[in-house]
Amino acid sequence: MDIITGAIISGVIYDILKNGALITAKSIKEYLLEELLEVSNEQARRIAEQAKSVDFSDVSNVSKEKFIENHQNQFHTINSVNQNVNSPNNSGTLFNNSANNLTQNFNLHDNPVQKKS
């Protein structure tokens, strides 16, 4: 499951960077929700922190598949991502590892998503 989670998260990081948005906890949560995945504020903050070490030139130099291959191991340690399907046709938990589920509050509106012009 950790490899799958790492691949999903690195794919989301690629999409955020490719679209010219800033990597923030809020943008991570928004993009993951588009993929029908839900993360806590703390999980999104941890992902954003780890994403700061990503080489941004990778986005323009490699395909999404290669980016995921290069970076999935960087994010597989965030194994507490609770992924809930938010579709009326399908519901349930895909992954659930609540052992590391942190409950620290985090204000997501401190760093709004900004797209490049």
Q: Which of 23, 34, 29, 46 is nearest to 113 (CA)?
A: 23
pLDDT along the chain (117 residues), means of 10: 72 87 87 79 87 80 86 68 41 36 35 45
Q: What is the pLDDT of residue 2?
A: 58
Mapping DSSP to helix (H, G, I), strand (E, B) and coil, where does residue 83 land? Answer: strand
| Domain assignment of residue 34, yes or no | yes
CB 64 within 8 A of CB 14: yes
| Torsion angle, alpha carbons of 27, 67, 115, 43, to 10 | 10
What is the domain count for the chain? 1
Question: Is residue 12, in this structure, part of any structural domain at all?
Answer: yes
pTM, full prediction:
0.54
Residues 92, 97, 82, 29, Cα dihedral to 10°:
-170
Examine residue 112 and state whether it is found in any structural domain, yes or no: no
Give the dihedral sign, CA 55/58/59/60: positive
pLDDT score recorded for residue 79 = 53
97 occurs within a structural domain? yes
The answer to whether position 98 is within a domain reads: yes
Amino acid, res. 38: E
Does residue 117 lie within any of the structural domains? no
Domain presence at residue 110: no
44 within a domain of the structure (yes/no): yes
Query: Which domain, by its residues, includes 44?
Result: 2-103
